Every structure is written in structure tokens, then in C-alpha cells.
Structure 1
């Protein structure tokens, strides 16, 4: 399994709106790609902005390419990102999963 991670941040006042936007764009579009295994959105507030981490899980490198295109290190950005004043990372990271276990609710 391959993990793809992207980061970006928005002013705190746009956090709720950007989360909804990311759900309707990145989450929805990646889920429609054959070989997509799952996704997570993480966020944390700082003094002046909210940082988002978008994590997607993939079965193969070919699946990653179907989503990202040939340059898999380039971020997939969407129309409407600017409405939430997104400052995106333009590059993403990829990692092979060596071990994984399901999170448990405390």
C-alpha cells in the first residue's frame, strides 16, 4: 500500500469551509479512482491559521498516477481553493506502508 500526503493551510475563519471543499473535491475524486483504498483529513489550529493534511491510500503506483497524473509529486489542486485563501504545498510525499493497524476508539 502507498500513502500520499499533502499539506496546506487556510486562515482559521475558513477552516470549516475548506474542510467541506476538500471533502467535495479531493476526497470525492480520489475515491472514484480504481485502486484507491481510503483517505483521511487531519487538521490543526495555530494562532493564525488552520493546517490541513490530506492523506490518501493506494494499492499501486499506477493507481496513484491515475489520480495525480504522470508527475505524482505534484499536488492536485482544485478550482475554488482560492475562495478559502488556501496556501497549498505544491508537492506531495509518498510512503510505502510497512505496517498498519486499525485505530481504536478510546
Structure 2
């Protein structure tokens, strides 16, 4: 199993709104992708910035390509992200899961 980790930041004022967006738009997109296993969505506030970490779990690298395309190490963004995110990190990180 492979873990795919993404990080994003919003203004504090968008904390709940971006959470709702992720629940309604991004999470269903992950869940409908063949090979998706599960996810963990984390958030925290640091001063006036909200941090979001999304850890998705996939059967293998090949099925991640079903979601992200052949350039699977590049972060996938939605058009709506431009309204919320303070920056667009280019890469995600992948780890092989060897124990749970």
C-alpha cells in the first residue's frame, strides 16, 4: 500500500469553508477512483494560517496514476483551490506503508 501526502495552507477565515469544500469536492473524487483504499484528513491553526494535510492510501503506484495521471508526484488541484490556497506546493510525497 502507498500513502500519498499533500499539504496546503489557507487564511484562517477560510478554515471551515475550505474544510467543507474538501469534504464535498475532493474527498468524493478520491473515493470514486479505483484502487483508493482510505484517507486521513488533518487540519490545524497556526496564528492566522490554517494548515491542511491530506493522507490518502492506495493499493499501489499504478492506481495513483488513475487519480493523478502519469505525473503522479505532482499535486492535483481543483479550480476552486485558487479561491482558498495561499500557495500551490508542486509535489506530494509518497511512502510505502509497511505496518498499520
Report if TM-score (shorter chain) is over 0.5: yes
TM superposition shift of 1:55: 0.9
Report 1:30-41 matches (<5 A): 30-41=30-41
CA distance in 2, matches of 1:89, 1:24: 22
TM superposition shift of 1:23: 1.6
CA distance in 2, matches of 1:6, 1:88: 10
1:14 equivalent in structure 2? 14
Query: Structure 1, unaligned stretches of length 5 or more?
Result: 101-106
Once the two structures are overlaid, the 10-residue window that deviates more, 26-35 or 80-89, is: 80-89
Q: 1:89 to 1:62 in 2, by over 3 A?
A: same
CA distance in 2, matches of 1:59, 1:5: 15
Contact (CA 8 Å) 1:7, 1:88: kept in 2 or not? no
Aligned residues: 100
Runs of 4+ in 1 over 4 A off after TM superposition: none
2:44 equivalent in structure 1? 44
TM superposition shift of 1:58: 0.2
CA distance in 1, matches of 2:88, 2:41: 14
TM superposition shift of 1:26: 2.0
* Aligned-pair Cα RMSD in Å: 1.1
TM-score (norm. length: structure 2): 0.94
TM superposition shift of 1:60: 1.5
